Structure 1
């Protein structure tokens, strides 16, 4: 059975790009969310195997969303997505419970490598 992934990013073109990488490599996109609050709700609904989470989003940022999801599911597998130069936020994300991070602009092989590593 292919792994189900929740894609969280406020930019629809970023979600589309990640979705393209995932489906090409045999993963199933369980759902998508445009902000952290939506991500927490969708996580409850679809119980994905993994989440790709943007850091900077409206309503609730990625770090708060990671904390909320990890409270519900301590074993949640989350990969943070950040733009260049957000190192301090990446550190906060890892402390909050993210398993890995990928930097925008995304490189397909790096995205897939991070997903395989976290799901392993």
Structure 2
């Protein structure tokens, strides 16, 4: 448990909430593993973990949509898979496969290439 945190109080839960909101992800296991942390602390940590997961999933979704739009636009303009692959740090085949996965994630369908 971080220094200066009182055990078993409302202040402890609020202090952990503030700490978890600004702390690295490694703090969540610390809250789980702390034998002196009560249920309030663990609930606060679990709530923040759930919120963080939702934020990460939303960010990944936005990233997938943007990457899909870029690849789709480049292909519409006639850009070769090899060039797209180089930009992605992969091969032309890897780029085409990535585009297929993005199509599924963004549209819920796959396309033939």
The answer, yes or no, to whether TM exceeds 0.5 is no
Structure with greater proportional strand content: 1
Structure with greater proportional helix content: 2
- Per the normalisation by structure 1, the TM-score is 0.26
Which is higher, the Rg of structure 1 or of structure 2?
2
- Per the normalisation by structure 2, the TM-score is 0.28
